[in-house]
Structures are given as C-alpha cells and as structure tokens.
Chain A
Amino acid sequence: MKGKIKTDIDLIRFFEVTTACKRDVYLYTDNGDQLNLKSKLFQYVVVVVFEESDLEMLIGFVEGDVEI
C-alpha cells in the first residue's frame, strides 16, 4: 500500500504512529530514496527534507497494518 504525504502533516505525530507500527514503514522520494521510518536518523532526514524542499514523497508499508 502506498500513499502520498500531505505537506501540512504533523511530523511529530506522524513519527509516533510509524514508530508504533509493528512492521517497517518506508518513505519513498522521487530521488529514489527508500527511507525506513523506524530509523530515528531517517526520521530526522525526513524533517530536513520536508523543511527544505518541494520533494514529492510517497509512504508505503511493507505489509500495511495501521491507518494514518
């Protein structure tokens, strides 16, 4: 399952949810990055990229088990 991320998302809440997911949650950028959002470092990366660019991002679950 994949979905596009809204630009006005509450990132803190978003990461709380992705951290609580049982399975890995990935964020895909149109630069070809596949960022595992369970990683704190990648969460920080997402913060930076969100603030700094108009990059389009897609979120996907390996096996989606929660709703955001």
Chain B
Amino acid sequence: MGEITVEEKLNLLAGQMYTAVGAGTWGFGEEGELFYSTAANQDEFLNFFKMGGCFTFAYEKEGGWKVPVILSDSIGLIWIAQHAQVSQGEYRMLVVIGPFFMSSTSLKRIEDELRRKESSVFIRRQMMRVLSDVPVAGSNMLAQYAAMLHYMITGEKLDKSRLVYQEKKCAGEEETREINQPVAFDRKDYNEKLLLKAVKEGNGKLLDSVEADRGMENGLLSGSGDALRDGKNTVIIFEALCCRAAIEGGVSGQIARRMEYEFISEIEKCATITQLVNMNMNIYEKWIETVHEYKRNVDISGTIREACDYIKSNILSELSAEKIAAAMGYTPYYFTKKFHKEMGMRVTDYIKQAKIEYAKLLLLTTKKTIQEISDLLNFGTRSYFSKVFHEQMGVTPAAYRNNLNREVSNEREN
C-alpha cells in the first residue's frame, strides 16, 4: 500500500470534523481561491471569514503558517488555519477549520444585540438559523483540533506552546454591551490547584505535565451573553487568584495588587477572544516570574525588599537614595550601607537596573521611541539612556528592539 498523501489525510480530517463536530473544513489556493469546503452555509461563512479580517490575516503571513493559527472576528467566530504543501509539495494550500464559537453565549449575545437594535423577527430568525450551525468548542478543544490539523499536515505532534493566537485586531466596531444577567460563578475543577501552586512556588516547570490553558480551558465562568465579556470575567477572576497565590508566595501585597490592577487594565483592552487567550498566557507567566524573582532573594530583609518594591512601583518617578531612605524611615547613610550589604550593589545601580528592565518591556511591547522611553524613565538624555542600556545589555536599545522583533518573527515562522 502506498504512502497516504497529505490530501488524503486532510480529506479524512474533513470527514471527521464534519461528522463528529459539525465543523467545516476549507481549502484555499495560493491566491485565496476556494478549492473545497465541507461547511454548512458555505457562502455565508466564506463571506464571514473574509469580512471579519481572518482571511487577510491568514494570508498576510510571509512564507505561510507552518503551525496552526487560531483566528477570531468581532462577533466571536473562531477559525483554525495552517498552510499545507500538497501535490507532492508543489503547491501550497491554506487549510481552514471553522467557524466555531468558543461559548454558547456568543450566539445568545448576537441575538440580544439584534433585538436591542430592533431588528425584525425575519432578520433575527434568518441570522440565528445560519449561526446555529456553528459548533461550540472551548479553547482546549480548539487546541486539540489545531493539533489534529497540524498532525495531518506535517505528521508531527504539536507542542501546544507553539500554537499561535491572532493578536491583531480584526476589522469590526467596538460595541458596548450591558451585562443583562448576573454572573454565574459555576467554578469547575480545572487544574486550578496546580496552576496556582506553580504561581505560589514561582515554578513554571510544575506545568510541564499539564495540558492546561491557564485558567480558560474548561469554558467560561460567567454567562453574560457575550463570549468576550465572559472570557474577560474568567481571566480577571483567575488573575485575582494568581494575585493571592503570588502574595502567599512572598510577593508584597502592594506590588501584587499593582500588578493585578495593570493586568486587568490590559485584559479589558482585548478586542477578540484570541487576543485574550494570548494576554492570559503572558500574564500568567509574569506571575510565575515575579514570584520566582522573590524566592531567589529570600535572604533579603523585609526593609530592603520593601525598598526594591518601592523602586519598582515608582520607576517612572524621579528616584534617589535619599528619597527612598526617607520613604523607608531611615537615614540615607544607614539605608545605603544596608542596601549595599544585602543586595551587593549600590541603590543607584539597582535603580538603573530596574529602569533598564522596565525599558526592555517598553521596547518589546510598545511603539514608543527611544527618546520617549528615555524621557519616561527620567534618564535626562537619550544618549545617557543608551549608554546605561548598553552597559547592562551589551547592545543599544534600538538593536535590542530589532533583535527581539526578529527572534519573535523567526519563532513564529518555525
């Protein structure tokens, strides 16, 4: 018997997805032309895929998607896509599975939205009839389908951490919605203990054996009628638990609450489910890193730990040893001696180090210019900022940003 081709494997997968899940599988050519589809309501869903920005996103990737990407649009439709080499590697095809909803509340939210906008019964009925064919799959199931797709295309097992969630916001309006149902805290047993233990111990390795999706894997904890809102509620609740675990792990309450506040602000800014999933994973890792950092410094006294917290909390202010000593209730002389003895470095050097750490974050996560970052962190001049950065990192801020962007890009391609 000859070797089974990628096309045959994909055909098998399409049959399984259709019969077992009710999800459509699509094949698109190099130019975006549709080769085949097993989806119900094919014309409508094809237009949704294109109009929601997912189609463009999938094709914008230079070299194609070598790992599955999870795409989502502004009404909560989700698609899984990956490129496949077909016809003995001569032709590249984009294989897409979907659409899905991540929660049954997505459909209800759309119906409520149409009712709120006083749409006729005819319109609501037509829309609901089409959308009721969309299967619901939680993030863990989506990851499994993505892994199946990847296996059929490459013959390799997908490491879940390589799964890409669409970051870029799709075209679509921002709509404010009122939560018209009380939030139901139907908490499920979802590896929560292990996830929180990893935070408390600052040990991410605990999660190696867990196929966990950082708090969202067993569905959403609230039922507002809006899947994105429910997702945000779920993640925010999880953040609160992580905050508590971090405090138990040794992080000062002040720092943990400030982190929690910042994270919740970031969570609220997410415009799609996939952005939210990305954000949730990043934030969870930051909690573990923070606790890990605290545990490393276990021999440091409460006062100096508090001083370090003070520096990090006020990193955007004018900081000096005198000011920090005063805030800690010590004379500058005693404080600076104590700091140096315990930390093995001068306060001013620690401040510089903390500023550079923050600058690294800004370089990676924002589009702020070097000058803006220098001003924000009170370095005085851009050249002084670059000098200090170079001393600590061995590269200039601009080179650091370029290198990281290149690394991220390469990692995604691989």
The 6 closest A-B pairs by CB, nearest first: A40-B172, A31-B120, A47-B47, A31-B122, A40-B74, A33-B120
Residues of A within 8 A of B (CB): 11-12, 15, 19, 29, 31-33, 35, 38-45, 47-49, 51-53, 55
Residues of chain A within 8 A (CB-CB) of B117 are 39, 42
For residue B47, which residue of chain A has the nearest CB?
Answer: A47
CB distance from A59 to the nearest CB of B (A): 16
Residues of chain B within 8 A (CB-CB) of A43 are 51
| Cross-chain contact B171 with A19 (CB below 8 angstroms) | yes
| Cross-chain contact B126 with A40 (CB below 8 angstroms) | no
Residues of B within 8 A of A (CB): 41, 43-44, 47-48, 50-52, 73-75, 110, 113-114, 117, 119-120, 122-123, 126-127, 129-130, 171-173, 175
Residues of chain B within 8 A (CB-CB) of A15 are 51
Given A12-B51, A51-B44, A52-B130, answer yes or no on A45-B123 (Cβ-Cβ < 8 Å).
yes
For residue A42, which residue of chain B has the nearest CB?
Answer: B117
How far apart sit A52 and B173, CA to CA, in the bound complex (Å)? 25
Given A47-B51, A52-B130, answer yes or no on A40-B119 (Cβ-Cβ < 8 Å).
no
Point out the residue from B50, B119, B171 that lies within 8 Å of A45, measured CB to CB: B119
How far apart sit A39 and B130, CA to CA, in the bound complex (Å)? 19
Residues of chain A within 8 A (CB-CB) of B73 are 40
How far apart sit A14 and B110, CA to CA, in the bound complex (Å)? 23
| Cross-chain contact A41 with B171 (CB below 8 angstroms) | no
Point out the residue from A33, A35, A40, A55 that lies within 8 Å of B52, measured CB to CB: A40
| Cross-chain contact A41 with B75 (CB below 8 angstroms) | yes
How far apart sit A22 and B114, CA to CA, in the bound complex (Å)? 24
CB distance from B107 to the nearest CB of A (A): 12
For residue B52, which residue of chain A has the nearest CB?
Answer: A40
Given A44-B51, A44-B127, A47-B48, answer yes or no on A38-B173 (Cβ-Cβ < 8 Å).
yes
Residues of chain B within 8 A (CB-CB) of A38 are 173
For residue A36, which residue of chain B has the nearest CB?
Answer: B117
Residues of chain B within 8 A (CB-CB) of A40 are 51-52, 73-75, 171-173
CB distance from A36 to the nearest CB of B (A): 8
Residues of chain B within 8 A (CB-CB) of A44 are 47-48, 51, 75, 127
How far apart sit A45 and B127, CA to CA, in the bound complex (Å)? 6
| Cross-chain contact A11 with B47 (CB below 8 angstroms) | yes
| Cross-chain contact B114 with A49 (CB below 8 angstroms) | no
